[in-house]
């Protein structure tokens, strides 16, 4: 009995929690998509977490029908491993710096983050937001100076947003769409356009899914005119036909 309980608890901890408004397929998606995907389709079960964590879960046999990531890296890896169908780009994004509404660190520019004493939160290097942040810091030439002020490396973008919104950090690097969702709690410090890395979101049908028809229908909904309109309204960019 005790062994069975331990196994059950391990199983619960192995996969991210899912939310559902009507059953059906299960969608594993990047945390930055938590607001918009349920607006496009309320029926699926959704599990939102870091793209890397979700990819690992799918590799381990998690019961996902769709995988949507904040970077092409993991969908392409799963595709070339034969675990998902060919991924498609469905949205783009940009990085910004957010600060608490009161801006106690007096951050007006990304270059201010070099100032000693500031508390900066970034994403872990294994997740897309962390990788993109490191790219833009390298491009700006301020990686070492900002690294001295990093107090936390979060496993998904929601963790960064929460720390800044609660005043536990003076600044954090997030996606523009995440900043928009908490506009009453944070201020946005734009990043130079010339330094922005290309941020592309991809989704794919998991080959092991037993709901292939429903999964493909979900992809069509995301790529539909309505889906694109909702993505745009949430602050996402839309890929050109050639990118898709």
Q: How many CB atoms lie within 10 A of CB 10?
A: 9
pLDDT computed for residue 23 by the predictor: 46
- pTM of the shown model: 0.85
Q: Is 11 exposed, middle or buried (0-12, 13-18, 19+ CB in 10 A)?
A: exposed
Residues with Cβ within 8 Å of residue 58, at least 6 apart in sequence: 28, 64, 67, 78, 83, 84, 206
| Cα distance from N-terminal residue to C-terminal residue, the chain | 51
Q: Where in the chain is the domain with CATH 3.40.190.10?
A: 2-92+201-233, 95-195
Residues with Cβ within 8 Å of residue 144, at least 6 apart in sequence: none
Instruction: Split the chain (244 residues) into runs of 10 and give each run's mean pLDDT.
Output: 34 40 79 96 95 96 97 97 98 97 97 97 96 98 98 95 96 96 95 96 97 97 97 93 60
From the options 3.40.50.720, 3.40.50.300, 3.40.190.10, 1.25.50.10, give the CATH code of 95-195: 3.40.190.10
Second-level CATH architecture of 2-92+201-233: 3-Layer(aba) Sandwich (3.40)
Contact 28, 65 (CB under 8 A): no
> Among candidates 121, 100, 123, 119, which has minimal Cα distance to 189?
100
DSSP letter for each residue of 152-212: EEESSHHHHHHHHHTTS-SEEEEEHHHHHHTTTTEEEEE--GGGPPPEEEEEEEBTT-S-H
């Amino acid at each position: 009995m005790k062994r069975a309980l331990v196994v059950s608890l391990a199983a619960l901890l192995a996969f991210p929690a899912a939310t559902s408004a009507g059953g059906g397929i299960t969608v594993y998606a990047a945390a930055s998509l938590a607001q918009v995907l349920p607006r496009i389709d309320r029926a699926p079960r959704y599990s939102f977490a870091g793209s890397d964590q979700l990819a690992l879960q799918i590799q381990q046999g998690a019961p996902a029908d769709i995988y949507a990531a904040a970077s092409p890296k993991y969908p392409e890896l799963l595709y070339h491993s034969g675990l998902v169908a060919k991924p498609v780009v469905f949205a783009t994004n940009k990085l910004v710096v957010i600060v608490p509404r009161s801006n106690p660190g007096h951050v007006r520019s990304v270059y201010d983050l070099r100032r000693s004493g500031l508390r900066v939160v970034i994403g872990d290097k294994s997740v897309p937001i962390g990788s993109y942040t490191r790219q833009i810091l390298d491009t700006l030439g301020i990686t070492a100076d900002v690294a001295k002020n990093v107090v936390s490396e979060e496993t998904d973008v929601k963790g960064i947003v929460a720390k800044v919104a609660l005043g536990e950090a003076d600044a954090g690097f997030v996606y523009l769409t995440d900043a928009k969702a908490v506009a009453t709690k944070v201020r946005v410090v734009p990043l130079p356009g010339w330094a922005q890395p290309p941020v592309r979101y991809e989704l794919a049908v998991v080959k092991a899914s037993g709901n292939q028809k429903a999964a493909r229908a979900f992809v069509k909904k995301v790529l539909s005119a309505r889906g694109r309109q909702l993505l745009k309204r949430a602050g996402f960019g839309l890929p050109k036909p050639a990118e898709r």
